[in-house]
Chains A and B, each alone.
Chain A
Amino acid sequence: MNCNRAIVEAAIQAGCRFFTGYPFTPATECLEQASHRLPAAGGVYLQAEAEVSAINMLMGAAIAGFRCMTATSGAGFALMQEGVSHMAGIAEVPCVIVNVMRGGPGFGNLAPTQSDYRMATRGGGPGDYRCLVFGPATVQEAADLTKLAFALADRYRTPAIILSDQMLAETTEAFDLGDPLPEEPVEKWWATTGCKGREPIYMGRPGKNYGPEAEYLSGNLTLNLIGLARAGRDPDTFEAHMLRLAEKYHRIEAEEVRVETLYLDDAELAVVAFGTSARLIRPAIERARSEGLRVGLIRPITLWPFPSRLIADAAERVRDVLVVEMSMGQMVDDVRLAVNGRTPVHLFSTLGGVVPRPETVGREIRQILGLVTADSRA
């Protein structure tokens, strides 16, 4: 089974009961898989007329308390950003979004890239907000992280993004779906399912709190313009909301970083790469090690929260840092912030659907370690 389909299987095992999306290569197989597997699992599958509708359908499902997912790629992900921002920063509801990265900018091409790193980790929508972002490198890890994504999205009431790419998406390899994650059930007291037996809930506006006593911002500009608004635009209410959001993000940064390291203890050179590029350059690192070169790997698994602490610590010990990315250099900004000038940070990037090859990255490694000169073909 390929990665697109494995992710949907893992989602269903994790209790996903709503899937919507718009066909977008190379994410479309997620829709195909969901179209028959969701109904069989007692869930709802619905093809949306556009990504904008898909993300808002997802918002409706999420606010009604259901675990839900959509899958898309680059430009489709861009169309979803307003909805993602609203779900993360205003409604604060959980959902899982798969972005199978293909070539950008614009409609780009269909080949693998990692150039939506920034859109996923910074957000392309308005305002201050964050989403959990996972960067799987194998089908097995994609399945495992999908399950984790649902659990953490619920725990923190926030969208989680699985950042796959065309190469991983179409990789077919054996994986073990395993058991459902042991989870403490999260009580969704905020789910709008009808107020029978309790007070009404209003979800999707910023306020001091949710529930019957909620105080909401008044946006009636006409009343404001003609001077009739009463306690209308209350900045304190929104500030309190944003401060609570910031506190939540600090908690996530403190508790949810996941990262894999390889040969880092005695490394002189730390290579930082995620997802497919990390997988593809592993042989270069193994080969360098077999030649006695002290090279290590840092592979961020969560792209937000980013393993800044670990990279900062490593920067105290290594002589150089090399970032390998299938983009003009997006994650390298996070690495530079973490390294904070302690050591030089080099970038090896591939563009337009070209993937990093062990031979070329191996040459780059030897060059940085001073074993070959820049123009040597060795």
Chain B
Amino acid sequence: MATATKVAAAPTETPARPGPRRGRPLRWLPLAPATVMLLLFLGGPIAYCVYIAFTNMQLTGASSTDFVGLDNFQRAFGDDDFRNAVVLTLVFTLLSSLVGQNTLGLALAALMQRASRPVRTLTGSVVIAAWVVPEIVAGFLLYAFFRREGTLNALLDWLGLPSQNWLYTLPILAVSFANVWRGTAFSMLVYSAALSEIPKEITEAAEVDGAGGLGRFWHITLPMIRRSIGTNLMLNTLQTLSVFGLIWAMTRGGPGNRSQTLPVFMYDQAFNKSLIGYGTAVALLLLLVGALFSVVYLRLMKEEV
């Protein structure tokens, strides 16, 4: 609890304005419950997780837990399945978050700006409906859409096109598409807000100067919403990196391990193979991947145009 006292008492060492001494202990009193709660329920488990990652803890089948140092991490880097999971995670993130959700969200937002009110309302509510559906429900919906006797193949049949077995042949594409379907609304909302912030005068001035639609978009709109793009990319990537339920419901990471992204791999190691320690180590590595992405985006956002 010493840390709690230190953290909580920190503000008293650099008072914003010299006040009467009597108020000082009381000043952080409102913060104390929150601080203690955070330490107990967030800091504690995180510290425990970091500790587990360095042990050989098992869910079942072992009578004791020992400290094994960096074994789990060494094992991960030598594990073909782990490498496969990293590649698939990157593919999934790039396809569904960077390319899919982002571009589609921006396109929708841009188009909706020019649309009439009823069209806007309708499109908005359809896209947002996909987003508010719980992840697991969306997973089952899309499983029903993609499976061999599913809606997609029924449609293709009806159009006279050859039916596909996406969940078996290209599962990572199927789950990426599912994630785009589900997550685009978030990007759309962020970009709608950003676009409505652009002053009309500027776009009008550009129009008078003879800039075409694409030119205006490229030279005016994009630079003006650069910060929103950065923020959105960061939030999107972090959300996508940790997608589990959607993939689990659709493919369980299969067939083979062709759609086993890091979160699914982690679950498989920790709970199917009972290797809690190894699974937790992989979780920490996933955290690193997320941190790397965040650092890149933060750097991008810092640069002045």
Are A and B bound to each other?
Answer: no
